[in-house]
A = this chain, B = another copy of it.
Amino acid sequence: MKIIVHGWSCDARKEEAIEALFKRIETEIAPLAVVIFNVGANVPMKILETTSRKFFKICEMACFSGFLTGREAAKYMLERGEGTIIFTGATASVKGSAGFSAFAMAKHGLRALAASMARELGPQNIHVSHVIIDAAVDTPWIRENVLPTFDERRPEDIVEPDSIANTYLNLHQQTRDGWTFEMDLRPWVEKW
């Protein structure tokens, strides 16, 4: 399989930006076959420190932008009657925690969007999935900024981008008689 990487920046919280990006991809590259949404906003914040502005900022980053991405992808895919949309979740998608009200709200919300879209779009041949990644992902930024803050985390406790990519590819390649909506994914040594 030959892979050509195209990189563009896009503020996924902006309706026009998502619309423009997808239009460009459809026009310049190829029809959207798989769309994956990854944006997070894992910011700790006590409830009393969560201003309305911060609430909406986190909601926009981790949830609304996923809604826009999914909806705009669905527009193209529904016309062609096929496609795969994958949303990346986290432990906060299924569990609240002290000091993470806004983030948990946004991730639970994103999961509900995915689950509703899966039920609505599945019978129209669009495969919608939600993958709960219960781990840090091995990127240079994470290695420098996040790992050092995890006291008890061992070096194995991190997932490679390639491993995630393989699992996402498998989701996309499932035949429609056996689609997966949700799966979790974590390193072998992770406690949960």
Contacts and interface: CB of A to CB of B under 8 A. Distances in A.
Given A74-B47, A116-B96, A160-B175, A110 B105 contact: yes
Interface stretch (A22-30, A35-43, A62-70, A140-148): A62-70
A104 to B, nearest CB: 4
A189 B71 CA distance: 20
A47 B188 contact: no
Contact of A178 (B75, B107, B186): B186
A180 B185 contact: yes
A191 to B, nearest CB: 8
A34 interface: no
Closest CB pairs A-B (n = 5) = A96-B115, A163-B178, A96-B116, A108-B112, A183-B183
